[in-house]
């Protein structure tokens, strides 16, 4: 056991994962969060879709490694849990083929990594999901556009189907599992506490100040604060040393009943429908969660993550639910809106930053909201490895660390997630959150 003290700021699913893995490496870890319970930030409102359909080799590799943790979740978080263990629902993942050709980038990566998938033509897609329309609605339009209501003239080519993928039924429960596992190996949690300052000298982090003006001396600080990540980075004075930045984006996910006669939990799958500008998945109670909808021009960026509209808006409700009704013609659109509103923490290329900073002892797992829930446990392992190697003298900036996946054995290149990278123009700039 070494005597280095680490504070992880942020008790979402990734913060709790890092706390668990870092404590197992012999650090004295305390995880701090402004909320009274873990997973009460963006994590709680995640759709928790577990999928591997990314446009880069490193993105798919990390997602595949992350998937394996969920398949082995009960064993991975094994301890005397006070809570139930979160369930991974293997309902499959369907990528409807859209003219943006995102799916064409993914298939060669699947072949290289040996990830299971099937190509379904339009007829096979209807056979697998008889409640789907296979009409093409490209390009996605808004209900306010006349073209939205016109009869489609074409059909999608089909879909890419990954049978082993799906979603986690209760993301907040999964986070509690990680908290209890971390506590079982000695980590501490300070909940309902707010960080008001990062203490540093010219070269190194020294500690932090909490909302009651208590100063806490530490050797390591890890920023995992989701939509507040840019606030903490500014406190630490490290944002100027980054080539990519983060900022909060307001998002809505809506909840509607499945079409009459359709048992969506047995018959449905998590679905990426770029042809129609949405994504959706089954939800308990024979409901469907649907997100997406906003075009680049409609994205609502938030200046203050403590102040934003937390109510479902009629415009986004109609956009997402009406689009869903086009894909699922039997859907009966409810008269009342129902859904959740939260913030994503995103970078310019929607790829997270998993890295050290220019300030010794200060690390970041930021830009993660909306797209990294599925990777949480794998990221915990990667970040703990990065921190431990850097604290023991490795120069990650000049020689990026390669982490071998615990389950897949794949090389996970942490240089891909560097704060010093150029913005990745090949990224899909999208998310299923």
Domain count across the chain: 2
Whole-number Å distance between alpha carbons of 80 and 73: 14
Peptide bond into 139 cis (omega under 30): yes
Residue 310, domain member (yes or no): yes
Q: Would you state the pLDDT for residue 82?
A: 72
Tell me: do 160 and 261 sit in the same domain: yes
Secondary structure of 209-249 as H, E, C letters: EECCCCEEECCEEEECCHHHHHHHHHHHCCHHHCCCCEEEE
Q: How far is CA 49 from the centre of its chain?
A: 8
Q: Would you state the pLDDT for residue 293?
A: 66
Three-class SS of residue 62?
A: helix
393-410 pLDDT, tens digit each: 999 999 999 999 999 999
> In which residue ranges of the chain is pLDDT below 50?
1, 433
Q: Would you state the pLDDT for residue 250?
A: 95
Tell me: do 306 and 373 sit in the same domain: no
Q: Would you state the pLDDT for residue 79?
A: 72
Q: Which residues are bridge partners to 62 per DSSP? A: none
CATH code of residue 355: 3.50.50.60
Residue 323, domain member (yes or no): yes
Q: Would you state the pLDDT for residue 83?
A: 74
Tell me: do 193 and 302 sit in the same domain: no
Tell me: do 56 and 109 sit in the same domain: no
Q: Would you state the pLDDT for residue 429?
A: 54
Residue 284: which domain range?
90-166+247-345
Q: Would you state the pLDDT for residue 176?
A: 96
Tell me: do 145 and 188 sit in the same domain: no
313-331 pLDDT, tens digit each: 999 999 999 999 999 999 9
Count of C-beta atoms within a 10 Å radius of residue 145: 10
261-287 pLDDT, tens digit each: 999 999 999 999 999 999 999 999 999
Q: Would you state the pLDDT for residue 221?
A: 98
Instruction: State pTM to two decimals.
Output: 0.96
Q: Would you state the pLDDT for residue 238?
A: 98
CATH code of residue 324: 3.30.9.10
């Amino acid at each position: 056991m070494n005597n280095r003290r680490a504070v992880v700021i942020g008790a979402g699913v990734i913060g709790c994962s890092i706390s668990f893995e870092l404590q197992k490496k012999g650090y004295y870890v305390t995880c701090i969060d402004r909320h009274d319970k873990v997973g009460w930030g963006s994590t709680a409102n995640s759709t928790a879709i577990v999928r591997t359909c990314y446009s880069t080799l490193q993105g798919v590799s990390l997602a595949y490694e992350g998937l394996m943790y969920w398949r082995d979740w009960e064993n991975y978080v094994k301890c005397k849990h006070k809570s139930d263990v979160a369930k991974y629902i293997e309902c499959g993942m369907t990528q409807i083929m859209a003219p943006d050709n995102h799916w064409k980038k993914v298939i060669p990566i699947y072949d290289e990594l040996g990830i299971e998938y099937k190509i379904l033509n339009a007829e096979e897609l209807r056979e697998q999901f008889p409640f789907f329309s296979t009409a093409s609605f490209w390009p996605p339009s808004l209900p306010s556009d006349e073209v939205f209501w016109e009869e489609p003239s074409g059909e999608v080519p089909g879909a890419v189907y990954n049978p082993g993928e799906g979603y986690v039924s209760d993301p907040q429960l999964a986070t509690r599992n990680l908290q209890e596992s971390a506590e079982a190996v000695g980590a501490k949690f300070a909940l309902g506490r707010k960080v008001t300052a990062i203490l540093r000298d010219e070269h190194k982090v020294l500690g932090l100040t909490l909302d009651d003006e208590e100063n806490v001396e530490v050797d390591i600080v890890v920023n995992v604060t989701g939509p507040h990540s840019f606030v903490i980075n500014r406190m630490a004075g490290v944002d100027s040393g980054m080539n990519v930045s983060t900022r909060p984006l307001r998002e809505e996910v809506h909840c509607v009943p499945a079409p009459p006669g359709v048992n969506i939990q047995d018959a449905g799958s998590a679905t990426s429908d770029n042809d129609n500008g949405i994504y959706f998945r089954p939800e308990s109670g024979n409901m469907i969660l649907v997100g997406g909808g906003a075009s680049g021009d409609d994205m609502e960026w938030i200046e203050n993550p403590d102040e934003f509209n937390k109510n479902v808006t009629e415009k986004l409700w109609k956009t997402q639910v009406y689009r869903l009704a086009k894909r699922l013609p039997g859907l009966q659109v409810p008269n009342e809106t129902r859904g959740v509103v939260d913030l994503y923490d995103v970078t310019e290329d929607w790829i997270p930053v998993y890295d050290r900073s220019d300030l010794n002892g200060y690390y970041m797992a930021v830009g993660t909201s909306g797209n990294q829930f599925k990777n949480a446990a794998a990221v915990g392992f990667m970040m703990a490895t990065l921190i431990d190697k850097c604290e023991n003298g490795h120069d990650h900036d000049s020689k990026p660390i390669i982490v071998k996946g615990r389950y897949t054995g794949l090389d996970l290149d942490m240089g891909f997630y560097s704060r010093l990278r150029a913005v990745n123009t090949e990224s899909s700039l999208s998310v299923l959150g």
